A and B are shown apart, each in its own frame.
Chain A
């Protein structure tokens, strides 16, 4: 079914809430983007459409953060309890930044670039303040 939502960050986040990882595909040159875009970065075409992502990719870069932003501190992360976040190259091609679960952020040397990953949705907060964060974990 053709998805009618506007190609925007707001729609992208609404899909995340429904545990759907959606990208945008350029109808002209075939490039795929995530988060979605209304204008193709490669060919400037304005004809893009929603495309569901398989949710599989590879870890291409990462960090383990000891001093996070307020919303991560609120989740209990700190110097003693760092968290991992990184860049994932999706099977479909584009890269995305996301949190990495199921690894040991206290031992960053144990985390390997090239690890195959699968998408995971992290639901945080209640009611109107609820938000879904994108994460990945080793397959």
Chain B
């Protein structure tokens, strides 16, 4: 086994775009991708000629199911005028576009291409909640599905094991939800740009207008404890522990390190890439950790030479509140069973020592499955370039950010580390 992992030549991100995330009945996948693409083109400081893009890698989980159309790479390639150049789709459930990013990096590192467009998209909201639940479930293991498990159910199972092992409670998870919402309110592209307090006020106002009994909650936690406001989906996961159903797209322009300065004086270097696989709930490891994430993190740390303590902030895959804890621990930011205490102490807030999900996370920014991985990297792009506006992490020496993107029930996990030099 080789100890060090290196890529053939350096790769940089020189442009990035992301559509608004939300439920858009009057926009399709092409419209959303073009929205992200247009922003990406104008984000390249010194400009890019689309003719110079050698190839497209596109992450998409299951538009085949959601809108009954497959083979999306050429459709998007055509929409942006990229044909006849190569276009490839990557599919690894919710990690589909982080792996499009990885394939793009490898394609440049190999020396074969110099300029690659990577992206992802998903169009989910045209299905009913039941249909989306069934579609997403197809990314789990058959032995999990036959037991009646759904995705919220699988993360409910993981939460029950975590609670029982470490003494964490649902009250601790509330802190994650409250934090995600308070970050998302500063993100104009987020699907739910409201604090929990905003949502409480909206519900009170609506009741007053309709003349129905006006609810009263002492504080955010009392609201989250109220089963009417926050109904159980799969114990102990309630509505506000779960990410929404979303439409959206994201993309990035990757170029070889030698060429990066032709595009911008402020490129981000791809210093760590890692990927892992896992056997789901019936694997042999502990239920409170995902072997795929540990593998992905280990690969990315080895390639970058960084340790968890070197990472200054991270976007982790919080499809459910409990996942944020498990992800942070598997990334090595906190010891097993200590993640929830770090959240309680405020360490993972935007002004904490280890900001997590400053974008609002999947929970509030939205989770258009195939777009998510690169949308997570997009937050790192904005933060490292000092372009995150009100969401900017208050640190004058922000140089190293990471992303962890999960697919299925831990079947796939991906880690990406970017550095501003």
Interface flag for A79 (CB, 8 Å): yes
Number of CB contacts from chain A to chain B under 8 A: 113
Q: Are A61 and B158 in contact (CB under 8 A)?
A: yes
Q: Are B146 and A133 in contact (CB under 8 A)?
A: yes
Interface flag for B156 (CB, 8 Å): yes
Q: Are B281 and A95 in contact (CB under 8 A)?
A: yes
**Partner of A69 from B134, B143, B161 at Cβ < 8 Å:** B134
For the complex formed, measure the closest distance between the CB of A66 and the CB atoms of chain B, giving whole angstroms. 5
Chain A positions 70 through 97: 1 when the CB is less than 8 Å from some CB of chain B, otherwise 0: 1111000001001101110000001111
Cα-based distance from A129 to B129 in the complex (angstroms):
27
Interface flag for B52 (CB, 8 Å): no
B1 proximity list for chain A (CB < 8 A): none
A63 proximity list for chain B (CB < 8 A): 149, 152-154, 156-157, 159-160, 234-237
Q: Are B161 and A67 in contact (CB under 8 A)?
A: no
For the complex formed, measure the closest distance between the CB of B285 and the CB atoms of chain A, giving whole angstroms. 10
- Chain B minimum-CB-distance residue to A70: B134
Interface flag for A27 (CB, 8 Å): no
Cα-based distance from A22 to B284 in the complex (angstroms):
18
Q: Are B150 and A69 in contact (CB under 8 A)?
A: yes
B281 proximity list for chain A (CB < 8 A): 61, 87, 95, 97
Q: Are B152 and A65 in contact (CB under 8 A)?
A: yes
Q: Are A66 and B234 in contact (CB under 8 A)?
A: yes
Known A63-B235, A94-B282; judge A99-B147 contact (CB<8 A).
Answer: yes
Interface of B is mostly: helix
Interface flag for A52 (CB, 8 Å): no
Cα-based distance from A37 to B235 in the complex (angstroms):
31
Cα-based distance from A41 to B144 in the complex (angstroms):
18
Chain A positions 94 through 121: 1 when the CB is less than 8 Å from some CB of chain B, otherwise 0: 1111110000010010000100000000
**Partner of A62 from B134, B137, B160, B279 at Cβ < 8 Å:** B160
A98 proximity list for chain B (CB < 8 A): 147
Cα-based distance from A65 to B237 in the complex (angstroms):
9
Q: Are B287 and A61 in contact (CB under 8 A)?
A: yes
- Chain B minimum-CB-distance residue to A34: B282
Q: Are A97 and B236 in contact (CB under 8 A)?
A: no
- Total number of B residues with any Cβ neighbor in A under 8 Å: 36
Known A60-B287, A63-B153, A79-B231; judge A9-B142 contact (CB<8 A).
Answer: yes
Chain B positions 144 through 174: 1 when the CB is less than 8 Å from some CB of chain A, otherwise 0: 1111111011101111110010000000000
Cα-based distance from A87 to B148 in the complex (angstroms):
12
For the complex formed, measure the closest distance between the CB of A73 and the CB atoms of chain B, giving whole angstroms. 8
Cα-based distance from A2 to B399 in the complex (angstroms):
62
Interface flag for A134 (CB, 8 Å): yes
- Total number of A residues with any Cβ neighbor in B under 8 Å: 35
For the complex formed, measure the closest distance between the CB of B170 and the CB atoms of chain A, giving whole angstroms. 10
- Chain B minimum-CB-distance residue to A114: B164
Interface flag for B233 (CB, 8 Å): yes
Cα-based distance from A40 to B147 in the complex (angstroms):
23
Known A61-B161, A63-B156, A108-B235; judge A96-B282 contact (CB<8 A).
Answer: yes
Interface flag for A35 (CB, 8 Å): yes
Interface flag for B232 (CB, 8 Å): yes
Interface residues of A in 21-56 (CB under 8 A from B): 35, 41-42
B134 proximity list for chain A (CB < 8 A): 69-70
Interface residues of B in 190-241 (CB under 8 A from A): 231-237
- Chain B minimum-CB-distance residue to A73: B130
**Partner of B279 from A41, A69, A73 at Cβ < 8 Å:** A41
For the complex formed, measure the closest distance between the CB of A6 and the CB atoms of chain B, giving whole angstroms. 17
B164 proximity list for chain A (CB < 8 A): 61, 113
B137 proximity list for chain A (CB < 8 A): 69
B143 proximity list for chain A (CB < 8 A): 35, 96-97
Known A63-B234, A66-B231; judge A85-B152 contact (CB<8 A).
Answer: no
Q: Are A108 and B236 in contact (CB under 8 A)?
A: yes
Cα-based distance from A85 to B151 in the complex (angstroms):
13
Cα-based distance from A62 to B236 in the complex (angstroms):
9
- Chain A minimum-CB-distance residue to B144: A97
For the complex formed, measure the closest distance between the CB of A70 and the CB atoms of chain B, giving whole angstroms. 6
Interface flag for A64 (CB, 8 Å): yes
Interface flag for A138 (CB, 8 Å): no
Q: Are B148 and A69 in contact (CB under 8 A)?
A: yes
Cα-based distance from A85 to B133 in the complex (angstroms):
17
For the complex formed, measure the closest distance between the CB of A38 and the CB atoms of chain B, giving whole angstroms. 15
Would you give 18 A-B contacts (Cβ < 8 Å), ordered by A? A62-B235, A63-B149, A63-B153, A63-B159, A63-B235, A64-B234, A65-B234, A66-B232, A67-B130, A67-B150, A67-B152, A68-B153, A70-B134, A82-B232, A86-B157, A97-B147, A97-B281, A133-B146
Instruction: List 4 A-B pairs, minimum CB-CB distance, nearest first.
Output: A63-B156, A97-B147, A61-B161, A108-B235
Q: Identify the B interface with A (CB < 8 A).
A: 129-130, 133-134, 137, 142-150, 152-154, 156-161, 164, 231-237, 279, 281-282, 284, 287
Q: Given A65-B233, A96-B143, list of 8 further CB < 8 A pairs?
A: A9-B142, A61-B160, A62-B235, A66-B234, A67-B152, A86-B160, A87-B157, A97-B149
